[in-house]
Structure 1
């Protein structure tokens, strides 16, 4: 009998659970890396399916004031009659995979469990493998979901190859590092896997996209604009679990390898890319080398990134601007130095505001991350954060309510201080959940009132920026329609990143 050697990789829905026309209009890099390695190293057929992408998507105006989206999300986790779940059933039924691989973060893990359930309802013989940040954090607890057969911890590119080879040879999983799995009614946790030393050895995520991505033709080209230059983060922020996935030892792709990927993206029609690294560049020497490589080999490229405050200085930002950087996201998080110390951000608000000034001086769009509701938060520290939002003069505020992710130090701190109970359900809490309140010194009712005040400020500021951007783009299009010269049009594209 012919063996079924088909694997379906799925990004579970999250944004679509808030509203069906919301959409993750990007190709998840995790699926791209895995699909590339599977095609390169095995004889398995692979399909990548972003179930959080909607071809019926409409422009989304993000508002932090509407709680209906969160209630829709909760209802869609209970009611499986919605369109998105029907689409997932159809995708699995039509492709008929032997394996379903799901990439799960903590915020979409409840959705990942539903995808696993649907796969098993269609065919109990399907092997369900879950990888991504969440199983890397919680380990064997991922198998508390009875429909998951294998959990992958850490980087999955080499692990998935060994799993597929073992399944092909009908071998046991005992020697496969980096997994937890069921066997004879017991849960086994194997030794951790070593991190990939040479990142240049990996396939480019978009390399096989037209062959592997379901509904590829429906995606905008900008869905493929994201790229990693590094893995790992040397910082030790109290609330972050990145080190459990990538480690604190940073591994760098060579600038030559990054540029090679960028050039292939440019051939696809992309004029702008985004570096998805936790922190772009990590150190100034690497930033210098990468920027100079981009200047030499990718003229005209526009790009954006997330940058640590401590890396911002005149020389670095000037070089980044010359290399085509048009937008920078920085993590200010709080306007209060005591809260920043508790977060272990290794910055002060004064240094953060100085970094903002430098970025704005060079005409680069500034987006700033702010978190409210840290466990030690007070009303005074919240007021300091409101003041910092204004003083930063950022173009966009990326606003979050503190969310303790399982197996982080922050999560254990919240448990020790009675802010989290043993029946904590991660699906009920995410960065915009109105249920979030993990403050020792502010009660939930008062916190919700204060948070609503801040959300109005954020919403107003971001709305103004959206209107300015729409006006600018409409003006640009009118000018382009008048038939102005090519050199001017090129300048416009450089300005907009389009």
Structure 2
């Protein structure tokens, strides 16, 4: 059979590389600042091993938009179309793509997958007649079984589908226990080179080295209220063996990749495993630099010297807040002392760039609490940082809390996501949060310029390799300006019906 694997992106979260930085000249390859679509890259070789032909699409490519894929469907007539996407921000795009392709090929089954699809499988099929099936959870075993049983879908575990107009929700599949059994992802078939960049609103290229992502573990056992990963992974953390990981790294090295980012939800989980991987990188003389994310309370923080020796140059921590009160409210289950120790050790041990993810606009967080998070970032001596608004997504403990408090109607709001400051009366209004952010950024930037001029100069010089002076100024100025909204803020249905733009708030 001929299978189409299509990854659908929100256009707000990728950028075509500026022409002045392009390396490939007249090559047909497109250069995009984004993470590769590792999900469909992982599935493609597995499906081929079952004898099927696979074509991949990534909608970040200018010639892989709806109209181009529609024409390809007309010309090539695939037997199955699979749409993959990450979150609710892409759902309307997925509906549009499905509708267009179903009209073009009404008899071709369309199956979707991804985190949002997994959480909302039944609701999606009731909402969107152009989608035939939802594959829930991991696809490596589900998709081949689905393709082998297109006429007998009731036996495919993890599938939600239609039968005579009724939605059928088959039993869940067990989590895959052996992650070593699958071939390495297909990184060659898409005519796209993905560029290593910072997760910022203004493009900030980190390097023009050949870049890709890897996943060496799955899941996270912790239960932060804003995260859906524990529910999707059923609270389990699973890993590929060091030998399997090193085999893929050797392949990437041989293919010329010189920058790798590990997309693991929590890489810093098991010391012995990290030791084996890092020693393997050193012994094999693998010539790439790499980065990862992890929790500050991991015992594997003690492996940072070895990680640096193995050329780990980027380490991101989920700091979230600079007060114990807010950390506890988010159920982060870590202390300020653990955060300070981990970041200090990372810099002491030679990690080139440490990044801190912060959240602002949490329940019961005050103006002073937000400023304290900025002051805490100063004390941590982070190289880069982001202060994002807390948001609520279906499948997270925070969403369920809002359902129980009557703020969200799960039956009517399931397809939305919310900035918590727009809907929760226990949170500072968005305007006040922005005022706190501006004040905090001023203090933070002032400190970096006056008290850490050498480190600040080095960071700006690093950005300056791939950014114009005007781009750097725009990057530094972006926290202080109100951005034009590309889309209206999501609001619960009860607020929409009452014509409200914010809830009735308690006094602050």
Global fold match (TM > 0.5): yes
Of 68, 71, 83 in structure 2, the residue corresponding to residue 102 of structure 1 is: 83
Cα distance, 1:184–1:452 mapped onto 2, change above 3 Å: farther
Of 144, 148, 156 in structure 1, the residue corresponding to residue 131 of structure 2 is: 148
Cα distance, 1:446–1:425 mapped onto 2, change above 3 Å: farther
CA contact (8 A) 1:154 1:245 kept: yes
CA contact (8 A) 2:111 2:135 kept: yes
> What residue number does 1:196 align with?
176
Cα distance, 1:244–1:139 mapped onto 2, change above 3 Å: farther
Q: CA RMSD in A?
A: 3.0
Shift of 1:17: 8.0
Say if 2:142 is the partner of 1:159: yes
Of 207, 212, 224 in structure 2, the residue corresponding to residue 225 of structure 1 is: 212
User: For residues 244 and 281 of structure 2, what CA distance do their matches in structure 1 show?
Assistant: 11
Say if 2:58 is the partner of 1:90: no
Shift of 1:418: 4.0
Of 55, 66, 69 in structure 2, the residue corresponding to residue 47 of structure 1 is: 55
User: For residues 120 and 105 of structure 1, what CA distance do their matches in structure 2 show?
Assistant: 21
What does 1:41-440 correspond to in 2, within 5 Å? Answer: 41=50, 43-54=51-62, 84-106=65-87, 107-143=89-125, 144-167=127-150, 171-206=151-186, 209-210=187-188, 212-213=189-190, 215-216=191-192, 225-311=212-298, 315-364=302-351, 365-421=353-409, 423-424=412-413, 426=415, 429=418, 436=422, 438=424, 440=426
User: For residues 218 and 300 of structure 2, what CA distance do their matches in structure 1 show?
Assistant: 23
CA contact (8 A) 1:109 1:427 kept: no
CA contact (8 A) 2:118 2:135 kept: yes
CA contact (8 A) 1:401 1:436 kept: no
Shift of 1:276: 0.9
Shift of 1:297: 2.2
CA contact (8 A) 2:9 2:85 kept: no
CA contact (8 A) 1:136 1:153 kept: yes
Shift of 1:13: 2.5
- Provide the secondary structure at the position in 1 that maps to 2:155: coil
User: For residues 345 and 389 of structure 2, what CA distance do their matches in structure 1 show?
Assistant: 27
Shift of 1:202: 1.1
Shift of 1:18: 8.2
Q: Which moved more, 1:395-404 or 1:88-97?
A: 88-97
CA contact (8 A) 1:231 1:277 kept: yes
Cα distance, 1:48–1:282 mapped onto 2, change above 3 Å: same
State the TM-score, normalizing by the size of structure 1: 0.78
CA contact (8 A) 2:180 2:244 kept: yes
- Provide the secondary structure at the position in 2 that maps to 1:279: coil
> What residue number does 1:488 align with?
none
Greater relative contact order, per chain length (Cα 8 Å cut-off, separation 6+): 1
Q: Which moved more, 1:293-302 or 1:171-180?
A: 293-302
User: For residues 288 and 240 of structure 2, what CA distance do their matches in structure 1 show?
Assistant: 19
- Provide the secondary structure at the position in 2 that maps to 1:259: helix
Cα distance, 1:99–1:155 mapped onto 2, change above 3 Å: same
Cα distance, 1:275–1:459 mapped onto 2, change above 3 Å: farther
CA contact (8 A) 1:372 1:401 kept: yes
- Provide the secondary structure at the position in 2 that maps to 1:309: coil
Unmatched runs of 5 consecutive residues or more in structure 2: 19-31, 196-207, 450-455, 468-508
- Provide the secondary structure at the position in 1 that maps to 2:149: helix
> What residue number does 1:443 align with?
429
Of 25, 28, 33 in structure 1, the residue corresponding to residue 42 of structure 2 is: 33
User: For residues 69 and 445 of structure 2, what CA distance do their matches in structure 1 show?
Assistant: 33
Q: Name the structure with the higher helix share.
A: 1
Q: Name the structure with the higher strand share.
A: 2
> What residue number does 1:8 align with?
4
CA contact (8 A) 2:392 2:417 kept: no
User: For residues 451 and 421 of structure 1, what CA distance do their matches in structure 2 show?
Assistant: 30
- Provide the secondary structure at the position in 2 that maps to 1:155: coil
> What residue number does 2:483 align with?
none
CA contact (8 A) 1:259 1:297 kept: no
CA contact (8 A) 2:4 2:80 kept: yes
Unmatched runs of 5 consecutive residues or more in structure 1: 56-82, 475-498
Cα distance, 1:437–1:466 mapped onto 2, change above 3 Å: farther
User: For residues 174 and 306 of structure 1, what CA distance do their matches in structure 2 show?
Assistant: 39
Q: Which moved more, 1:15-24 or 1:176-185?
A: 15-24
Cα distance, 1:257–1:429 mapped onto 2, change above 3 Å: same
Alignment length, in residue pairs?
A: 431
User: For residues 473 and 35 of structure 1, what CA distance do their matches in structure 2 show?
Assistant: 33
Shift of 1:459: 9.1
- Provide the secondary structure at the position in 2 that maps to 1:368: strand
User: For residues 53 and 352 of structure 1, what CA distance do their matches in structure 2 show?
Assistant: 39
Say if 2:482 is the partner of 1:467: no
